[in-house]
Amino acid sequence: MVDKIKTADEAVKDLKDGMTIMVGGFMACGSPENLMDAIVRKGVKNLTVIGNDGGMPPTENSSARGIGKLVAAGLVSRLIASHVGLNPQVGEGMMCGKLGCDLIPQGTLAEAIRAGGAGLGGILTPTGVGTIAAEGREIIEVDGKKYILEKPLKADFAFIRATHADKFGNFMSAKSTKTFNYVMAMAAETVVLGTEQLHEVGELDADLYHMPGTFVTYIVGGEIKWQI
């Protein structure tokens, strides 16, 4: 069996300036913090980041979290997300022209990533028809109803987080940490999985894992629960 287990720094070795990456999680809940730290250490520039949001900014009591770490370090030149209101640093970056931001309805974002992973040429969604979300998109009419044709999203890297994974990369993300982690596992060239628990193959029942390890390129252990 191919050995997928790496340190976080090894896992980002081939990450390069200007690449497009996906980061799982929702407001940093379910984001792989070890992997974000490794990206910051590597210091790649001009990343396009696809994620639900801009993560959490640094506060007096804590460092930034999730995508917020990349934003705080100035590594992000473009963010494709559904909501960035909880990270004022994204707004600041947008104001001064350093950070471009494409806002996409959350459900459309999830489907576009899934379509990228599932080999679809796109999906037709009624969400956003007649609004700014339709700008630059083709409108397709099916049985008299209008839909936006949303094209698939793919990335060079996906950084995702599991609660339980085995050494082949089969994984599950507990409770509300699933979010974008499952669809992003399908949609990138290199998929790096940060996990809290790392199990031997066959140690847990197969049906406890929600996603197959065949999607996962590298596995990095040592994710810990966020301490409030």
Partner 1 sequence: MADIKHRIAKRVAQEFKDGYVANLGIGLPTLVSNYLPEGVDVILQSENGFTGISGAAEPGKEDVDVINAGAGYVTYEKRACFFDSALSFAIIRGGHLDATVLGAMEVDEKGNLANWIVPGKMVAGMGGAMDLVTGAKKVIIAMQHTQKGAHKILKECTLPYTALNVVDLIVTEMGVMEVTEDGIVLKELHPDFSLDDIKAATGCELIISKDLKPMEVE
Instruction: Examine residue 128 and tell whether it contacts partner 1 (CB under 8 A).
Output: yes
Instruction: Examine residue 82 and tell whether it contacts partner 1 (CB under 8 A).
Output: yes
List the one residue from 35, 110, 188, 220 that touches partner 1 (CB under 8 A).
110
Contact 159, 194 (CB under 8 A): yes
* 126 contacts: CB under 8 Å, gap ≥ 6: 145, 146, 147, 148
Stretch 4-33: interaction string toward partner 1, x if CB under 8 A: ----------------------xxxxx---
DSSP state, residue 26: B
Instruction: Examine residue 112 and tell whether it contacts a second copy (CB under 8 A).
Output: no
- Find where tokens 């044709």 sit: 149
- Residue 94 or 174: the one with the smaller Cβ distance to a second copy is 174
Instruction: Examine residue 124 and tell whether it contacts a second copy (CB under 8 A).
Output: yes
What is the number of residues in the chain? 228
- Total of residues contacting a second copy (CB under 8 A): 25
Residue of 223, 199, 205, 168 lying closest to 30 (CA atoms): 223
Q: How many CB atoms lie within 10 A of CB 206?
A: 9
List the one residue from 120, 189, 202, 222 that touches a second copy (CB under 8 A).
120
By CB under 8 A, which span of 7-15, 76-84, 118-126, 183-191 interacts with a second copy?
118-126
Residue 48, SS3 per DSSP: strand
Residue 13, SS3 per DSSP: coil
Q: Which helix (H) or strand (E) holds 114?
A: helix 106-118
- Residue 60 or 206: the one with the smaller Cβ distance to partner 1 is 206
Site for a second copy in 137-156 (CB under 8 A): 140, 142-143, 145, 147, 149, 151
Binding positions for a second copy, rule: CB under 8 A: 111, 115, 118-126, 140, 142-143, 145, 147, 149, 151, 172, 174-175, 206-208, 210
